[in-house]
Chains A and B, each alone.
Chain A
Amino acid sequence: MGVVGVQGAVSEHLEMLAKANAEGVWVRKKEQLNSIDGLVIPGGESTAISKLMSESNLFEKVKEMGTSGTPVFGTCAGLIMLAKKGDAQVEKTGTRLLELMDVEVNRNAFGRQRESFEAELEVDGVGKFPCVFIRAPAITKAFGECKQLATYNKYIVAAQERNLLATAFHPELTQDTRMHKLFLGMCKR
């Protein structure tokens, strides 16, 4: 399992993968992607992650892998990266998205850090899950084959589409490995 390691909560994802009995690799160079069965795009700052992925040539390769069926799991900023369409904020900053998943996202749907929150939500196929939202984005629209896994208020906060899994929250900041196990299940198929 690779974790895109240009910026953000990389070591937390690696720890979760290890807890779920998978081998994780901190991916900083394009060449490291050749021996990967699945890829995690972690939380961090989406503007920085997008820029740094482009500059290290990870961007095109990840897009190609996601298109050709390699499982990709995006959390928070990773969800933004996976989306086909961003909001005005994403456009304003010229953030390049991978445009893999049939979703439209709102970059800071819940507000600033003081509005960041934790809530236990029902996730399809997982059950009640401790969801940690940090300046989190949300899915405002899912279309095509994308199916929603969890909602909060008017937003979709977890979704799956073929080989792609995305959450607006941070399972890597909890002790609960079920979201990572769900993803590892997708990688075995």
Chain B
Amino acid sequence: MVELTVGSARLKEGFAKMQKGGVIMDVTTAEQAKIAEAAGAVAVMALHAVPSDIRATGGVARMADPVKVKAIIDAVTIPVMAKCRIGHYAEAQILQELGADMVDESEVLTPADEENHIDKKKFTVPFVCGARDLGEALRRINEGAAMIRTKGEPGTGNIIEAVRHMNKMNREIRDISNRKQDEKYLQLKAGDYRVPLELIKKTAELGRLPVVNFAAGGIAIPADASLMMQMGSDGVFVGSGIFKSNEPEKFARAIVEATKHFDDAKALLEASKGLGEPMKGIDIRSMKEEDKMQTRSK
């Protein structure tokens, strides 16, 4: 008999690597999932409501009904991801049991634990987590996250927060990379970020996060996807941007195109033409601090 290994870091991080260069789309029904797949999405994120609706509805946002997630799993052949609340490992266990290919421990839902994130190394399925800076990203990776995404500000259709988070992460990675010979400095950073020195050293050596890093939280039009890719994202998550636009099919296809041709202005121009009304969006400056989802975890 051949000996099998399941749930290894290589399998989890490898799964995330297969998503690179792609677009992962939020969907709430099997029909939306089919539209996403036909448009060339590499995976879908199954939700009970898209972030902008979660924001509008208020109350406690929890994992989606397993029946709805299962209907989406059965409707498409691409991977299906699903969200659980931060720290809510019981929701994650249910999603793994159901067959979700990746779990997003997400600030879009109402956090269940303010002190602890899920111990993701205990799971067979890989996890993706949001981050606003390098410290947050490395803490999540240290807990076992196989993929990181910027938090941005979900459900706003406003790219400014995702840009802020990507800028900060890039700056902080450059900083440790430039001083990778300076053991004392790296030690200091490990203390600051509350992660093992080894993880800091690895990141400094690579000059990038040691796992796949996507952009999320505010991508609404093809140009937003291109901007994030040019800033160094490995791919993009689009939440409300597609199914809150007037023409979801067109937007889905155009964002896939813009992600692939992120540095080709001619192709970007084509992808951006005549899409109709994008989602309306929110100016971050008009938001109350307590309405922001990105500050829900550290």
Contact = CB atoms under 8 A, between A and B. Distances in A.
A33 to B, nearest CB: 17
Contacts of A45: 18-19, 22, 42-43, 78-79
B104 interface: no
Contacts of B77: 47, 89, 92-93, 107-108
A12 B17 contact: yes
Contact of A118 (B11, B17, B41): B11
B101 A52 contact: no
Nearest to A87: B77
A48 B15 contact: no
A8 B18 contact: yes
B295 interface: no
Interface residue tally of chain A, by bracket?
Answer: 35 or more
A94 B37 CA distance: 11
A120 B3 CA distance: 7
A51 interface: yes
Interface stretch (A16-24, A63-71, A109-117, A179-187): A109-117
A8 B43 CA distance: 12
A119 interface: yes
B2 A121 contact: yes
B96 A114 contact: yes
A85 interface: no
A5 B56 CA distance: 39
B121 interface: no
Given A52-B40, A89-B77, A119-B2, A6 B18 contact: no
A7 B4 contact: no
A152 B18 CA distance: 22
Interface centre among B2, B18, B257 (most CB of A within 10 A): B18
Interface of B: 2-8, 10-11, 14-15, 17-22, 37-38, 40-43, 77-79, 96, 99, 101-102, 124-126, 256-257, 260-261
14 contacts: A6-B21, A8-B18, A9-B20, A44-B20, A48-B42, A51-B40, A52-B40, A77-B18, A107-B77, A112-B99, A113-B125, A114-B124, A116-B15, A135-B79
